[in-house]
A = this chain, B = another copy of it.
Amino acid sequence: MIHQETLTKYLAMFIQELSNAGIENVVISPGSRSTPLAMLIAEHPKLNYYINIDERSAAFFALGIAKQTRKPVALLCTSGTAAANYYPAIVEARIARVPLVVLTADRPHELRDIGAPQAINQIHLYGEHVKWFTEMAIPEANEEMFSFVRTTASRAVSIALLEPAGPVHLNFPLREPLIPIIEPSPYADLDDQPSVTVTHGHLMPNENVMLDLSEKLKNTEKGLIICGVLDHPYLQDSIIELAEKLGYPILADPLSQLRSGNFSGDYIIDNYDAILKETQYKEKLKPDVILRFGGMPVSKPLMLFMKSLSDTEHFIVESGNGGWRDPIKKATQMIYCDEALFCNELCKKVNKKENAQWLYMWQHLNNISRSTVIQEIGDINELDEGKVVLELIKGMPENSTLFVGNSMPIRDVDTFFHFNSKKIRVMANRGANGIDGVVSSALGASLYGEPLFLLIGDLSFFHDLNGLLAAKMYQLNITIIVINNNGGGIFHYLPQSSEKKHFEVLFGTPTDLAFEHVVQMYNGNYSKVRNWDDFQQSIEASVETKGLHVIEVPTNREKNVEVHRKMWKHVSMEVDHYLRGDQL
C-alpha cells in the first residue's frame, strides 16, 4: 500500500472512531504537520470544525464548547510551540473537569531532538495536567494497527469523560508527504457505529454510610447544604428536595445553577457572602452538620466561616472518584458517589422535619441582607461594578447564559446575582481561576447557548483579545460587558493596597486602552455607557441585533472599594440588629 493510502486509512479510522465515540466538535489551528488530520476532519460527514489561529484561544474556545454542551471536544494543532500554547486551557480543563481530546501532530522519531524545524519534545508535553497521554504509532495499514487506532480513539474519549472528567493528549508522529486521499471519501466504507462501546457505572452510595448519616440528620436541626460549582443538568431538583426534607437552607454559589431556575427559591440562600462578613455572630449561625456538593464556593467569608468551625461534621459528596476539593481541610467524611443518587437515597430515609426555626433564621437574614443590598445599590446613580450585575440580570432574557470573568466579576456576581426564575445558566473558568482565555471560552459556549452575556474585567478582556477573531469569523452572537476600571481592581481589596509606593505600577497596572478600536477591527458593535439608561438600552440593543457587542462600563477602582465597604457596613448593621434581638 502506498504511503498516502496508509496515512489516509489509518487516520480516517481514528477520526471515524472519535466521531463514533461522541466527539461532535473539533477546533483546528492551521499548520503543516497536522495537514492530513485537518483535511480528514474537514471531510468527515458528521464533525463540525472551527478554525482558530491562536492556539491559546483555540483551546479555551474548545473548553467553552465542552462546558456548554457537556460533551467532549477535540483540538488539533501542528508541531512545535503551537502545542505549548494549549497549556493554560489544558490546566484549566484538568482542574475544572472539562473533557478535551487534544491531538498534536509531531515530527516522526527520526526528526526529533536533532535541530529539525518546529520539532520540540512533545512526549508528555502537558505533564500531569492531562489524564492520559499516548504517543501514537507511525501510520501503518494492517488489522492490528487499525484495531489499535480505533481502540485508542474510543479510550481517549472515554477517559476524558470518566469522572472527574478532563483533558487527554494524543501525539501523532507523521511523515511526509502529508496529503491524504479524500476522493473518493475515505469514510464511505467505514462503520459509523463504535467498534467498542464504553459505559461507565455510576457510583452508588455505601448503604451503611447512608443509614448512619440519615440517623444523624434526622436528629440534627442545624444543618447547611453548601453548593459550589455544579453543572449537572438534573441535580438541582434532587438537592432542593433534600433541603426540603431536612429543613436545611442551601448556601448556593452562583455556579451551582441553583440561583436561577424553574423551582422554588425558598431554600436558596444567595446572600451568605454579605451575611458572613460579620463574624461576631458565628455561634448563632454555626451548623452542626454541613453537606457540601461541588467545588469550593467563591465566597471568601463563607470559606473563612467554615474554616473557623469546630465540632461541625462536614460531609463532602462527589462523583469524581479521588477528587479532594477541601482547601480548608475541614472534611470529616468524603463520600464518593453520584450526587443525585446520594440525595435521592437520603430523601427516602428521612421524613420531612417540622421544626424550622433554624431555616427561618437563615431565610430572614437572607431577606434583610438582600433588601439592604438592593436598597444601597438602588441609591447609587453613578456607574458601579456591583450594580452592573443587578442591571444586567434585569436586561437578560430567559434561558440565557451568563459567562463570568474571574477576579472581581465572579465576586460581584456572587454578591448581586439574586435568586430568579429566568433559568440563567452561569458559567466561569473556576478550575484555576485564571483571567486568561475567558473571551474564547465564552465564545465557544455561545456557539451552543445563545443568547450569551460575558461579564468581564478590562485586564481579562485584554488578555484574550485574540479570542475575538472567532466572533468575526463565525459571526457569533455575544454581548460582552467590560467593566473597565483600568487595571487590577481586586488588588485594592488586598493588603498591598496600603503600600502606596509601588501599588499602581505593580498591581494597579492601568493600560489606558481605548477598546473601541480593537472592537472595530473585529467588526463588533461597541458602546461605552455613561449612565444606567445607556446601559439598559445597550443591553436591549445587543439582544435585538446579532453579532458581537461590546458594552464598556467605565468604573473607578478606589470608588468601588468605598461603595462596597459602605454597603457591607449597612448589611452588618441590619444583621446585627436582627441577631441581637431575641427572635431566635
Name A residues whose Cβ lies closer than 8 Å to a Cβ of B. Answer: 28, 30, 32, 35, 38-39, 42-43, 51, 53-56, 80-82, 84-85, 87-88, 90-92, 95, 110-111, 113-121, 124-125, 127-129, 177-179, 182, 295-296, 323-327, 329, 430, 432-434, 436-437, 459, 462-463, 465-466, 469, 472-473, 488, 490-491, 494-496, 499, 501-502, 505-507, 509, 511-515, 517-518, 520-522
The reply to whether B124 and A129 form a contact with Cβ atoms under 8 Å apart is no
CA distance A451 to B128 in the complex (A): 44
CA distance A432 to B33 in the complex (A): 13
CA distance A514 to B473 in the complex (A): 14
The reply to whether B434 and A82 form a contact with Cβ atoms under 8 Å apart is yes
The reply to whether B114 and A326 form a contact with Cβ atoms under 8 Å apart is yes
Contacts A51-B506, A116-B296, A514-B520 known; 8 new A-B pairs at CB < 8 A: A51-B505, A53-B459, A81-B434, A84-B87, A91-B120, A117-B296, A117-B432, A125-B127
Q: How far is the CB of A308 from chain B (nearest CB, A)?
A: 16
The reply to whether B80 and A432 form a contact with Cβ atoms under 8 Å apart is yes
The reply to whether A95 and B114 form a contact with Cβ atoms under 8 Å apart is no
The reply to whether B111 and A502 form a contact with Cβ atoms under 8 Å apart is no
CA distance A53 to B472 in the complex (A): 25
The reply to whether A514 and B509 form a contact with Cβ atoms under 8 Å apart is no
Can you give 14 A-B contacts (C-beta < 8 A)? A53-B459, A53-B462, A54-B436, A55-B436, A81-B88, A81-B436, A82-B436, A115-B323, A121-B128, A124-B127, A179-B495, A179-B496, A182-B501, A518-B521
* Copy count, this protein chain: 2
Q: How far is the CB of A437 from chain B (nearest CB, A)?
A: 8
Given the complex, which residues of B lie within 8 Å of A522, measured CB to CB?
Answer: 513
CA distance A119 to B296 in the complex (A): 13
Q: How far is the CB of A48 from chain B (nearest CB, A)?
A: 13
Contacts A115-B325, A494-B32, A506-B38: A53 and B296 contacting too (C-beta < 8 A)?
A: no
Among A43, A473, A517, which residue has the most Cβ atoms of chain B within 10 A? Answer: A517
Contacts A53-B463, A459-B53: A127 and B129 contacting too (C-beta < 8 A)?
A: no
The reply to whether A30 and B506 form a contact with Cβ atoms under 8 Å apart is yes
Q: How far is the CB of A317 from chain B (nearest CB, A)?
A: 14
CA distance A463 to B80 in the complex (A): 15
CA distance A466 to B437 in the complex (A): 13
Partner of A502, one of B39, B323, B329, B518: B39
Among A28, A115, A517, A522, which residue has the most Cβ atoms of chain B within 10 A? Answer: A115
Q: How far is the CB of A485 from chain B (nearest CB, A)?
A: 14
Given the complex, which residues of B lie within 8 Å of A434, measured CB to CB?
Answer: 80-82, 118
The reply to whether B81 and A39 form a contact with Cβ atoms under 8 Å apart is no
Contacts A30-B506, A39-B502, A114-B324: A432 and B88 contacting too (C-beta < 8 A)?
A: no
Among A54, A113, A494, which residue has the most Cβ atoms of chain B within 10 A? Answer: A54
Contacts A182-B499, A496-B35: A85 and B436 contacting too (C-beta < 8 A)?
A: yes
CA distance A499 to B473 in the complex (A): 22
| Nearest chain B residue, comparing its CB with the CB of A436 | B81
6 closest Cβ pairs, A-B complex: A115-B325, A81-B434, A116-B327, A517-B521, A81-B88, A84-B87
Given the complex, which residues of B lie within 8 Å of A459, measured CB to CB?
Answer: 53
Q: How far is the CB of A300 from chain B (nearest CB, A)?
A: 9
Given the complex, which residues of B lie within 8 Å of A56, measured CB to CB?
Answer: 56, 85
